Structure 1
Amino acid sequence: MDLDFFKDWITIENVMELIEKYRSFGPLPGILLPFLEAFFPFLPLFLFVMANANAFGLGWGFLFSWVGSAAGAYFVFLLIRRFGETRVFNFLRRHQKVQSLMTWVERRGFGPLFILLCFPFTPSAVVNIVAGLSKIGVYQYMLAVLTGKAVMIFIMSFIGYDIVSLVKQPVRTGIVCVIIAVLWYAGKRIEEKMKDKIHMRG
């Protein structure tokens, strides 16, 4: 299966069909897909969350997506924390920008991580890896993941729930577009400030 075929296959209809096909396993498919996204960031988390919201309803869909995404992020963090001292990660630890970002995370702690994890456009894989390489507390990061992911997944679920109404109700579509634009802009601003801090300390 080449990448182009994979991209063409990943649609909300196909993901929902996949979830329905394995419905006999209960919530497992809805939890497993967001969980896998933490290990394979090229997978479309937004699409998985939308499919869960439509397949299971807003409440259960949110819960399954949140559990899967938060568990995956935390598991990646624990793996990096466990094996971060190995030779494989030496090139990352020695990188000046990574070191600066690690120091920034250690000094600021929960607050910035929570904000970063709230935004759908934040590269959470990078956050998980940098946090795992840093000295931030395990429980501190777990709290940031649980709360930040809850906000992010709820926003995605709310947008994705009853996707047909977004087409039929232009007002709601406009609100969704504004929310996405605001989140994107806020995420970019935070990213720029982080880069400025890294350059100032570099």
Structure 2
Amino acid sequence: MLDWMTIDNIEIVVEKYKLLGPFFGIFLTFIESFLPILPLFVIVVANAAAYGLFWGFLLSWLGTVAGSYLFFLMIRKFGKYRIFRRIKEQTQVKKLIHWVDIRGFTPLFVLLCLPFTPVVVVNSVAGLSNIKKKYYFLTLFISKPIMIFLISYLGSDLREIIASPVKIIISIVIVLVIWGIGKLIERILNKRVERDLREIEKLRRNK
């Protein structure tokens, strides 16, 4: 596998991807909001490698914001139907919906900034909560660039990274660190959710 990852082979793949056109790059990040099995990290890296840091970042940002917001609108409109009932009835989702209703867009902003957050879950929670549409669009608009830029930066330097074993190791370490920080923040948020909901329940009982 590593023998195949030469500069020449990487450039051939990047050029073939570039021939598909920029709208394909937007489409892939757009559709990933509906199909989480697609690797967003790989798609964003491919866009940055093919079109450069600025344009690759812009394509990925536009696609993922548009896809996430459309998914949010679909959940908001059709969330009461049976097809989405399984999502809504999950214990963790119920807790997050209630917490978002209490705390507003701040927890959503934090979650959307993290590169490995399951965006389908976040969009579903937002759609099933009472957050206003314009506020969620603003949350997506200002949170997504942080995550997308971090990944795009690695992708824009992909040729140099492949050429240097040291840079490959550094890049892997960076990705693992980002993943670890994301998981730590998720754990802290989960504890915060549990604590806030316990306090609310306690206040209700004391009334």
Q: Which runs of 5+ in 1 are unaligned?
A: 1-11
Looking at structure 2, the residues matched to 190 and 39 of structure 1 have their Cα atoms a distance apart, in angstroms, of 24
Q: Does 1:77 align with 2:107?
A: no
TM-score between both structures, scaled by the size of structure 2? 0.80
Q: 1:121 deviation in Å?
A: 1.0
Which residue of 146, 162, 176 maps to 2:141? 146
Residue identity matched to 2:146: V
Q: Structure 1, residues 118-168: CA drift from partner, whole Å, max 9, x if none?
A: 111111111011111111111111111111111111001001113121133
1:46-95 deviation line (CA, Å, top 9, x unaligned): 11111111111111110001000111111100100010111222343344
Question: How many residue pairs align between the two structures?
Answer: 188
1:22-55, CA deviations, whole angstroms, 9 ceiling, x for partnerless residues?
33xxx21111110011111000111111111111
- Once residues 15 and 40 of structure 1 are traced to their aligned partners in structure 2, the CA distance between those partners, rounded to angstroms, is 23
**Unaligned residue ranges in structure 2 (runs of 5+):** 1-9, 199-207
User: Percent identity between the aligned chains?
Assistant: 46
Q: 1:161 aligned to 2:156?
A: yes
Cα 1:91–1:33 shift into 2, 3 Å: closer
Q: Secondary structure at the match of 1:135?
A: coil
**Whole-angstrom distance in 2 between the partners of 1:68 and 1:173:** 27
SS of 1:182's equivalent?
helix
> Aligned to 2:35, what secondary structure does the other structure show?
coil
Preserved contact between residue 88 and residue 94 of structure 2 (Cα < 8 Å): yes
Change in 2 beyond 3 A, CA 1:60/1:84: same
**Structure 2 residue identity aligned to 1:53:** A
TM-score relative to the length of structure 1: 0.82
Residue aligning to 1:106:
101
Tell me the equivalent position of 1:88: 83
Two-structure CA RMSD over aligned residues (Å): 2.3
CA distance change for structure 1 residues 110 and 175 in 2, over 3 Å: closer, same or farther?
farther
Provide the secondary structure at the position in 1 that maps to 2:84. helix
Shift of 1:105: 1.4
Does the C-alpha gap of structure 1 residues 174 and 111 become closer, same or farther in structure 2, counting only changes over 3 Å? farther
Cα distance in structure 2, aligned partners of 1:109 and 1:135: 9
* Partner Cα separation in structure 2 for residue 107 and residue 159 of structure 1: 37
Letter in 2 for 1:21: L
1:196 aligned residue (191, 197, 205): 191
C-alpha separation between the residues in 2 aligned to 1:135 and 1:14? 48
Corresponding position of 2:58: 63
Q: Is the 8 A contact 1:15 1:48 kept in 2?
A: no
Determine the C-alpha separation between the residues in 2 that align with 1:48 and 1:198.
32
1:108 CA drift (Å): 1.7
* Alpha carbons of structure 1 residues 99 and 72: separation in structure 2 relative to 1, 3 Å: same
